[in-house]
Amino acid sequence: MRYFGHKSLSSILYRLTQAGWILMIPGVLALCTLLFFALFQIDLGDPITSGINGECAKMTHDQDWQEMMSMPPLARTVVFPYLFLVTFLLVQILRKSQSLFDNFRNNSVFRTANVRILSNLNKYMIALAVVTFNPATLLVCLILMLVTEILKDGSTLQDELDLTV
Amino acid sequence: MGIVFRLDRMMADRKMPLNELARRIDITDANLSILKTGKAKAVRIATLEAICRELNCQPGDLLEYDPDKPPAE
């Protein structure tokens, strides 16, 4: 299997991140709309909003949801800034990943630009791990930090090799 | 402290144009330019040998130690 260049794993991952863009924005907008109707129990009398409220009423076994619904309506809006923050971090991670895979598929691997991208990607992933309380993502970030350092050393060696005549 | 590559001076002495020397030692004009302007981080023995052969000189004629020049990183 080829990892870098065209028709390789990098090019597949680049296409996947492109598809991620197409799916993510409408997905987040749909989720926000659903949450809006569900959190404030708005029923416009149409089948969609009635269906949403009907499904939410059945979620009696979900403690988090019940706790959320017992809060005053204004306090429930706190979920939206949280959702926007997570979306922002995901968009940034997707954007950085896409440019990284784009460089990889163009056979540009050990470059300072990639070190910078990977370093920024790591920062966003750490932020996401903290915001979503996800220790597994934090572990991935630690591994990614090591990979960044390896790439940094590799780019230094590549620079020297490029300037060896 | 640093090493200065005196290729430009040697090429002028021998009246050898850059593209001609690059063609003779089989490296690209861009790489020879890197060498000429002192931006190179390392020089292969084979390249040095080819330059000495074509310019009819010794490695010592091409390399000079300058204590005032900052060292290569």
- CB contacts of A112 in chain B (<8 Å) are none
Q: Is A165 on the interface with B (CB under 8 A)?
A: yes
User: pLDDT by residue (tens digit) across A44-91?
Assistant: 778 888 888 788 777 777 888 888 888 887 888 888 888 889 999 999
The ranges of chain B with pLDDT < 70 are: 1, 71-73
Q: What is the ipTM of this complex?
A: 0.70
Q: State which residue of chain B sits closest to A156, comparing Cα positions.
A: B73
List phi, psi (to 5°) of A47.
Answer: -60, -30
* DSSP-assigned states of every residue in A72-120: -HHHHTTHHHHHHHHHHHHHHHHHHHHHHHHHHHTT--S-HHHHHHHHH
Dist. CA B67–CA A64, nearest whole Å: 71
| pLDDT greater than 80 at residue A97 | yes
- CB contacts of B47 in chain A (<8 Å) are 165
Please report the pLDDT score of residue A74 as a whole number: 81
Q: In this prediction, what percent of chain A has a pLDDT beyond 70?
A: 100
E-only strand ranges, B1-73:
2-5, 63-66
Instruction: Write out the residues of chain B at the interface with chain A, using a CB-CB cutoff of 8 A.
Output: 27, 31-32, 34-35, 39-44, 47
- CB contacts of A163 in chain B (<8 Å) are 34, 39-42
CB A155 within 8 A of CB B31: no
* Distant-in-sequence, close-in-space partners of A99: CB < 8 Å, separation ≥ 6: A117
**Does the pTM exceed 0.90?**
no
Tell me, what DSSP letter sits at residue B27? -
CB A86 within 8 A of CB A131: yes
Contact B34 A163 (CB under 8 A): yes
Query: How far does Cα A133 stand from its chain's mean position?
Result: 14
> In one letter, which amino acid is A86?
V
